[in-house]
């Protein structure tokens, strides 16, 4: 299990600020990296969480490292369906 | 005006397939790059458009180049509000 997977935050139906709080807590514990993951309709919320965490809550401490999008096959009610996914990696800013 | 700005596709309230068709048309006209732009709730749809265009419609021809997220200040009903944004650059695959 990589460090990124260990600190994965999966975006679901909770409020945006709940996820921001999780991320702030992860970095306050001393972790250096955290991945925000979302699928389908939650992708917009994932971007909000990344932006609010890095620009409003911890602007001096973390920054957006990489953003990747992809697709996943999920079993739906009427067979397989494809959903879009996003992975946003946040990392601790390196000391200058 | 850069080439990217010229071929910007802004994601709004139309159906996902309308935007995919616009992108297929851009690349079929011989353009080499195209940027998908969206704000707020439309971000999920922008990712769907990028994935469907590049994986289903033109898998041999285009690929996702870069994905960037950011924030914009917009004038809302009750003053300024911040919305998240996404820019997804699609490019023509280079001949091997």
pLDDT of residue B4 exceeding 70, the answer is no
Domain that holds residue B7: 3-92
Give ipTM to 2 decimals: 0.88
What pLDDT is stored for residue B76 in this prediction?
81
**Cβ <8 Å between A69 and B64:** yes
- At residue B67 the predicted structure's pLDDT band, cuts being 50, 70 and 90, is very high
DSSP string covering A17-85: HHHHHHHHHHHHTT-SEEEEEEEGGGHHHHHHHHHIIIIIISTTTEEEEEEEEEEEEEEETTEEEEEEE
Q: How high is the pLDDT of residue A94?
A: 81
Nearest C-alpha of chain B: how many angstroms from A49?
Answer: 9
Question: pLDDT at position B74, please?
Answer: 87
- Quick check: B65 contacting A, CB < 8 Å? no
The CA distance from B13 to the nearest CA of chain A, in Å, is 14
Q: Measured between CB atoms, does A17 come within 8 Å of chain B?
A: no
The pLDDT score that the predictor gives to residue B29 is 95
A71 closest CA partner among A46, A34, A43, A51: A43
How far is residue A46's CA from residue A22's CA, in Å, rounded to a whole number? 13
- State how far residue B39 is from chain A, nearest Cα, in angstroms: 9
CATH number for A88: 3.30.110.20
> Number of folded domains in chain B?
1
pLDDT in tens, A4-21: 577 999 999 999 999 999
């Amino acid at each position: 299990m990589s460090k990124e997977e260990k600190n994965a935050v999966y975006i679901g139906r909770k409020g945006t600020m709940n996820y921001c709080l999780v991320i702030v807590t992860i970095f306050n514990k001393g972790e250096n990296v955290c991945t925000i993951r979302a699928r389908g309709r939650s992708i917009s919320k994932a971007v909000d969480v990344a932006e609010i965490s890095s620009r409003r809550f911890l602007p001096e401490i973390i920054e957006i490292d990489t953003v990747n999008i992809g697709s996943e096959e999920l079993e739906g009610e009427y067979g397989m369906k494809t959903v879009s996914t996003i992975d946003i990696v946040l990392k601790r800013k390196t000391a200058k």
